[in-house]
Structure 1
Amino acid sequence: MDFLSSFLMRFLAQLQSPTLGFLIGGMVIAAVNSRLAIPDAIYKFVVFMLLIKVGLSGGIAIRGSNITEMLLPALFAVVTGIVIVFIGRYTLAKLPNVKVVDAIATAGLFGAVSGSTMAAALTLLEEQGIEYEAWAAALYPFMDIPALVTAIVLASVYVSKQKQRLKAEESLSKQESLSRQVVAAGDYPSKPEYPSTKQEYFGQQQNQAPQRVEIWPIIQESLQGSALSALLLGLALGLLTRPESVFESFYEPLFRGLLSILMLVMGMEATARLNELRKVAQWYAVYAFLAPLLHGFIAFGLGMIAHYATGFSLGGVVILAVIAASSSDISGPPTLRAGIPSANPSAYIGASTAVGTPVAIALAIPLFIGLAQALMGN
């Protein structure tokens, strides 16, 4: 009981943080139809500054740490990203009025990582005095890329099989029509040259291998995304150069102020996307509310295994859980647009921005930070 009450008190305290306050403020401003707008160029600059800072701090930390400490958390990040996509494939895709390719794209976006959500989690961890490995931010690509690759591969295989099935139906229909014409003319072939039943015909078609999906172009598209490029650039600079002076004098002091602007923009965007979400099945809203919490708990459980096995900090466990709870808001959408062109962007972007991101920031981050604090208290 003491554990639960302690957790609830810490959880409620998290909701009063400035980071979450700006998110909620942005949602309220958009809801009352305010004309306040943040130029897109400023938004992109803010995102770049935040991710380059996170990358720099991670690169500096990796330079002075034991790489083997990252192996198990990185493996769990990869596993989590892939598992998230399969969960969506066999849950959301099975619900009424939900198209399979749309569900796979949505799961891919929720398996990918939001750099802004991760930045918000890092800020709140620092505000609460919870220590974490600076290299934990480098887990980002280990979850992001496998999730996007898995989603695009699953969608490509599904679409390929559907095309084969449509061709099979058209071919069988033509053959049946031809057969009827031959019979009507009184010419009865001794041995049909086509399968006698649809089941037999489709069975033959399913034995054909689906079209091969090229993996490297998907990975390349992910790596070239603006968010991941900025993070990897920061990691490389922090690892290979000595940027401590500019990091401490410029990037570090600006971090929280820039993050507050980003949260304001994301809050406004979340409200604006609600109209898009209404255009698709309501199941997307249900999925977008529950998925961040489920994904986060899966990653939190794996993180605790790493905690007991290798000493991975509870702060690091929180970061792993938060990036699993997040859904990509920058690099993921364009990657999926190119990789799954048949999917409806209103479904996966609307679900992510309108519901998934606010849930991840306003609920998942305080939830997992409070859970970590309660565990540390014990």
Structure 2
Amino acid sequence: MSLASAALLSPPVLCFGLGALACALRSNLRVPAPVFEAVSIYLLLAIGLKGGAELAETRWSDFAAPAAAGLALGVLIPLWCFVALRRLAGFGVADAAALAAHYGSVSAVTFIAVVSYLERAGTPHEGFMTAILALMEAPAILVALLLARMAGPKAESGPGDGLAAALHEVISAKSFLLLVGGLVIGGLIGKTGLAPVRPFFGDLFLGFLCLFLLELGIVAAQKADAAWQAGGRLLAFALAAPLVNGALGLLAGHLAGLSEGGAVVLATLAASASYIAAPAAVRLALPEANAAYSLAASLAITFPFNVVLGIPLYAALAAWLYG
């Protein structure tokens, strides 16, 4: 209960709630688009730089098993999500594949939230988890799109064209470039080279995160209507998927030799759902899918659940698992 209280009373979560309240009251409160764009660039580059600096001091033998665990989750999660959405929830091929892509991929903002949570709680974690985040972003999208090609009617242009376009969309996306670019820069300069800019990319991080989540609270509340219109099956999946995926991530992290904090991060990554890279790729490769389903589920249901309740739950489960 103390973990949940700490999460609920943290400044980023409270700012998210303020944004949702503003939407409910039909306030004109919004973070200006240019400011939101700048803040998102800052956050993604900051976590990339920090992760790269940590990765530069990490032995390959320590990184290999967690990296393999992350890639395995990127394949397993979209597989079970697609089957469950098709056979249990009754979604069509395109919608099931689109949801599987979103839930198999990861959310950089949820990653930022769990890292901030662990830092406030004083729980250490492996610095190379940012690299795991980058590794997990694309594979699940490609797996889900391949499942759609195998289960649905063949596209006139052939399955390879859609997958190639989706892969290019993911790799060229702002979030991916900033994360990977930050990792490379951080790896090249190391912690010593990062020191001069640490006050900007480190000390101000939480304040920028509050602004970012304020706007996301507004956006998530706006998407809530689409989630309700999809019915109970979408709501049930959007709440069950992070629990199942979080448990898989926690177990995978433990088996891969991660620390307790690292396992919490991997569990949160597995439990998260993409609403940046996946929508762009799915829009290109599966234009027939209903985008409202995926965005409403990932942004209006799963994201708030993870930020408010999921992260402290995964932390509590990790504390029990690690004894």
Q: Does 1:249 align with 2:199?
A: yes
Q: What letter corresponds to residue 271 of structure 1 in structure 2?
A: A
Q: Give the alignment partner of residue 187 of structure 2, picking from 239, 250, 263.
A: 239
Measured against aligned partners, the alpha-carbon deviations of 1:304-357 in whole angstroms (never above 9, x if no partner) come to 1122xxxx2111111101111111122221111112111110111111111111
Check if 1:224 corresponds to 2:172.
Answer: yes
Q: What residue is the counterpart of 1:213 in the other structure? A: 160
1:294 corresponds in structure 2 to 244
Say which of 72, 81, 85 aligns to 1:79.
72
> Which residue of structure 2 lines up, in the alignment, with residue 204 of structure 1?
none
Amino acid at match of 2:151: Y
Which of 228, 248, 264 in structure 2 is aligned with 1:278?
A: 228
Within 1, Cα distance between the matches of 2:135 and 2:83?
Answer: 23
The Cα shift of 1:31 comes to 1.4
User: How do 1:119-268 and structure 2 match up within 5 A?
Assistant: 119-161=112-154, 211-214=158-161, 215-242=163-190, 243-268=193-218
Contact 1:125 1:315 in 2 (8 A): yes
Checking the alignment, whether the CA contact within 8 Å between 2:102 and 2:274 is kept in structure 1 is yes
In structure 1, what is the equivalent of residue 301 of structure 2? 355
2:262 maps to which of 313, 316, 325: 316
| Contact 2:4 2:308 survives alignment (8 Å) | no
Deviation at 1:85, TM superposition (A): 0.8
1:22 is aligned to 2:22:
no
SS of aligned partner of 2:59: coil
Alpha-carbon distance between aligned partners in 1 of 2:84 and 2:311, rounded to the nearest angstrom = 24
* 1:70-126 CA-partner distances (Å, limit 9, x unpaired): 111111111111111111111112245522210110111011111111001111100
One-letter amino acid of the counterpart of residue 213, structure 1: G
Contact 1:121 1:319 in 2 (8 A): yes
Equivalent pairs, count: 320
Distance in 2 (alpha carbons) for counterparts of 1:344 and 1:134: 37
Aligned-residue Cα RMSD (Å) equals 2.0
* Pair member with larger Rg: 1
Q: Provide Cα deviations, 1:249-288, integer angstroms capped at 9, x if missing partner.
A: 2111110001111111111111100122234343111111
Structure 1 stretches lacking a partner, 5+ long: 1-7, 165-209
Q: Percent identity over the alignment?
A: 29
Query: Match for residue 281 of structure 2?
Result: 335
1:96-107 equivalent positions in 2, closer than 5 A: 98-107=91-100
Pairing 1:363-378 to 2, within 5 Å after superposition: 363-375=309-321, 378=323
Partner SS, residue 343 of structure 1: coil
Distance in structure 1 (CA, Å) of the matches to 2:4 and 2:320: 10
Question: Aligned AA for 2:186?
Answer: G
- Rounded to whole Å, the distance in 2 between the matches of 1:332 and 1:246 is 35
Given candidates 26, 41, 45, the residue that maps to 2:38 is: 45
Does residue 67 of the first structure (1) align with residue 60 of the second (2)? yes
- Using the alignment, how far apart are the partners of 1:96 and 1:357 within structure 2? 21
C-alpha distance in 1 between matches for 2:183 and 2:241: 29
Contact 2:20–2:221 at 8 Å: present in 1 too? yes
TM-score for the superposition, normalised by structure 2: 0.93
1:110 aligns to 2:103 (yes or no):
yes
Q: Distance in 1 between matches of 2:142 and 2:269?
A: 17
2-structure distance, mates of 1:68, 1:43: 39
Shift of the 86–97 alpha-carbon distance from structure 1 to 2, 3 Å rule, reads closer
- Partners of 1:101 and 1:340 within 8 A in 2: yes
**Aligned-partner Cα distance in 2 for 1:10–1:120:** 14
C-alpha change, 1:299 and 1:262, in structure 2 (3 Å) is same
Gaps of 5+ in 2: none
CA contact (8 A) 1:157 1:211 kept: no
The change in CA–CA distance for 1:218 and 1:133 in structure 2 (over 3 A counts) is: same
C-alpha separation in 2, matches of 1:132 and 1:247: 22
CA gap 1:284/1:273 in 2 versus in 1, 3 angstroms: same
**Per-residue deviation at 1:154?**
1.1
